[in-house]
Amino acid sequence: MSSFGKKISELRKSKKISQSELAKRLNTATSVIGRYERDEINPSIEAAKKLSKILDTTVGYLLGETNELNFFKNPDMLKRWNAIEEMGEKDKEHILFAIDALIQKVRLRNIAL
C-alpha cells in the first residue's frame, strides 16, 4: 500500500498540478508539499481535508482506510454523495433504497443480455 505522501504525489501528478500550484491552493509553502510527499511530515486534519478536495479523492483514501482510488474520484459522484450525507437518516435510507433497486435492475438486465 502506498504511503500518504506517495498518494498525494501520484494524485497531484495525475491531475498535472505542480507542487507550487498545490501549495498555492492549500495556502502553504511549496517546501511543505515536498515534505508531505516525502513523508517527512503529516498535514493537519484540516489540511488533509483540503488536499482531498483539491485532489478529488477522500481523506480515507489518503490515510489508507480504503484502497479505492476511484471510489469518488468523479467530482459529480462525490457531490452527490456529500448531498446525501447532509440529509436526515430517513431521507438517506429512501435514496439508498432507490439506488440499490436501480443497481439491481441494471445487473439483472446485463445478465439477461
Q: How far is CA 31 from CA 28, 35, 92, in A?
A: 8, 6, 42
Residue 112 has pLDDT above 80, yes or no: no
Count of CB atoms situated within 10 Å of the CB of 29 = 13
Q: How far is CA 88 from CA 57, 82, 83, 84, 93, in A?
A: 24, 12, 11, 8, 9
Same domain, 18 and 40: yes
Same domain, 12 and 46: yes
Q: Assign residue 50 the CATH number of its domain.
A: 1.10.260.40
> Which of 53, 68, 45 shows the shortest CA–CA distance to 22?
53
Residue 55 contacts residue 7 (beta carbons within 8 Å): no
The whole model's pTM is what?
0.60
Each residue's pLDDT tens digit, 42-75: 999 999 999 999 998 888 888 887 666 555 566 7
